[in-house]
């Protein structure tokens, strides 16, 4: 019998079991297979595979990560592209060469290289939030037409590219560079195909900007570009007649402006923001059907020549 006023002691709850760690979606658990995939992609046999294993390890995983290799790869790719652009552009000045180099090794460009070659599943990591961010970016890139996937010269998506994807490409390049005893010529020979199509002076011109000014001038609308910094990224907003019609971002201001202009043109020509051009102009004067068709065709032809994604008119 229980004594008066005494309380029945509750049984202690069972000790919680250790959480089960599941591999990230799409993760290649077989590390030999992960390394073999990279070697098949590069058509290069590593002398020291531990370099490759390090290049395929994120800092969230309990092992030596790619951070040191990424540091080397960033510099090595920069020098490799500097050499290539210097030799292939004998009449281009240093400012334009710097822009071309930045366009070819930007986070946006390298992240798309990683997506195109399905590198992220090969990365050892332990960060669900990272998986979510990368998954969203991959999905946004794959929504483009298959013919355009990877042909965007320097990015173009308003969706910010996760740096981890660019870091992977730089780390893998560094693994090759170190493995071949810091032979820059060998590094370029092995990895150049990853970066095709390479951005050239011909494919990075500002034709879309001229096209936007011409279109708006016909309808008495002013065009303004407003630039601001978000971390290490330049964001450009395009205003037509005071209304926001386009946005683009990149590590380079020139590229961010091009991205924003293409975004604005696709919306203006698609009709979603057509009222921006028609408001307050004459007596209901708008973009005539023939003119609209001509502008759309010009933009389509320009994107085709420059290997940009085909515009989606909204």
101: domain CATH number is: 1.10.1520.10
Q: What is the pLDDT of residue 70?
A: 98
CB-CB contact of 220 with 281 (8 Å) = yes
HEC sequence for the chain: CCCCCCCCCCCCCCCCCCCCCCCCCCCCCCHHHHHHHHHHHHCCCCCCHHHHHHHCECCCCCCCCCHHHHHHHHHHHHHHHHHHHHHHCCCCCHHHHHHHHHHHCCHHHHHHHHHHCCCHHHCECCCHHHHHHHHHHHHHHHCCCHHHCCCCCCCCCCCCCCHHHHHHHHHHHHHHHHHCCCCHHHHHHHHHHHHCCCCCCCCCCCHHHHHHHHHHHHCCCCEEEEEEEECCEEEEEEEECCEEEEEEEECCHHHHHHHHHHHHHHHHHHCCCCHHHHCCCCCCCCCCHHHHHHHHHHHHHHHHHCCCCCCCCC
Q: What is the pLDDT of residue 187?
A: 98
- Domain extent at residue 223: 207-305
Q: What is the pLDDT of residue 284?
A: 34
Are residue 47 and residue 141 in the same domain, yes or no?
yes
Are residue 101 and residue 240 in the same domain, yes or no?
no
Token pair for 125: 């990591």
Are residue 238 and residue 141 in the same domain, yes or no?
no
Q: From the centroid of its chain, how far is CA 314?
A: 22
Residue 288 in any domain: the answer is yes
CB-CB contact of 95 with 253 (8 Å) = no
Whole-angstrom distance, CA of residue 52 vs CA of residue 73: 13
Are residue 131 and residue 244 in the same domain, yes or no?
no
HEC sequence for 37-100: HHHHHHCCCCCCHHHHHHHCECCCCCCCCCHHHHHHHHHHHHHHHHHHHHHHCCCCCHHHHHHH
- Of 165, 195, 225, the one marking the end of a domain is 195
Are residue 86 and residue 150 in the same domain, yes or no?
yes
Distances (CA, A) of 190 to 42, 184, 272: 6, 10, 45
Profile the chain (314 residues) by mean pLDDT over runs of 10 residues.
56 50 66 95 97 96 94 98 96 88 88 94 93 89 54 53 95 98 98 92 72 82 90 89 88 81 81 56 40 60 60 55
Whole-angstrom distance, CA of residue 228 vs CA of residue 235: 5
Q: What is the pLDDT of residue 227?
A: 93
Q: What is the pLDDT of residue 250?
A: 82
**Which residue, 116, 113, 115, 84, is CA-closest to 100?**
84
Are residue 78 and residue 107 in the same domain, yes or no?
yes
Q: What is the pLDDT of residue 210?
A: 78
- Of 170, 195, 220, the one marking the end of a domain is 195
Are residue 52 and residue 187 in the same domain, yes or no?
yes
Q: What is the pLDDT of residue 143?
A: 67
Number of domains present in the structure of the chain: 2
Residue 252 in any domain: the answer is yes
Q: What is the pLDDT of residue 18?
A: 44
Q: What is the pLDDT of residue 33?
A: 94
Q: What is the pLDDT of residue 20?
A: 40
Are residue 141 and residue 266 in the same domain, yes or no?
no
290: domain CATH number is: 3.30.160.20
Are residue 115 and residue 221 in the same domain, yes or no?
no
- Of 136, 162, 195, the one marking the end of a domain is 195
Q: What is the pLDDT of residue 231?
A: 81
Are residue 220 and residue 296 in the same domain, yes or no?
yes
Whole-angstrom distance, CA of residue 132 vs CA of residue 101: 30
């Amino acid at each position: 019998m229980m004594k008066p006023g005494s309380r029945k002691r509750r049984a202690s709850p069972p000790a919680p079991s250790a959480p089960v760690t599941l591999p990230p979606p799409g993760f290649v658990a077989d590390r030999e297979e992960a390394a073999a995939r990279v070697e098949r992609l590069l058509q290069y046999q590593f002398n020291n595979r531990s370099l490759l294993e390090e290049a395929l390890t994120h800092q969230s995983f309990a092992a030596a990560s790619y951070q040191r290799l990424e540091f080397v790869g960033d510099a090595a790719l920069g020098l490799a592209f500097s050499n290539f652009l210097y030799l292939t552009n004998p009449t281009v000045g240093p400012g334009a060469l710097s822009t071309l180099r930045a366009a070819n090794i930007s986070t946006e460009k390298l992240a798309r290289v990683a997506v195109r070659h399905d590198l992220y599943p090969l990365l050892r990591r332990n960060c669900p939030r990272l998986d979510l961010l990368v998954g969203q970016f991959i999905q946004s890139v794959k929504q483009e037409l298959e013919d355009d996937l990877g042909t965007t010269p320097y990015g173009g998506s308003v969706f910010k590219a996760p740096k981890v994807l660019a870091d992977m490409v730089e780390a893998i390049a560094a693994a090759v560079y170190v493995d071949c005893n810091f032979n820059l010529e060998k590094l370029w020979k092995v990895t150049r195909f990853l970066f095709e199509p390479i951005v050239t002076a011909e494919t990075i011109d500002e034709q879309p900007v001229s096209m936007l000014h011409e279109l708006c001038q016909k309808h008495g609308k002013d065009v303004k570009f407003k630039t601001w910094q978000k971390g290490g990224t330049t964001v450009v907003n395009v205003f037509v007649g005071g209304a926001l019609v386009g946005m683009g971002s990149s590590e380079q201001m020139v590229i961010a402006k091009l991205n924003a202009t293409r975004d604005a043109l696709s919306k203006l020509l698609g009709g979603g923001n057509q009222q921006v051009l028609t408001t307050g102009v004459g007596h209901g004067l708008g973009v005539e059907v023939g003119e609209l068709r001509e502008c759309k065709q010009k933009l389509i032809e320009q994107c085709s020549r420059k290997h940009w994604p085909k515009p989606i008119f909204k």
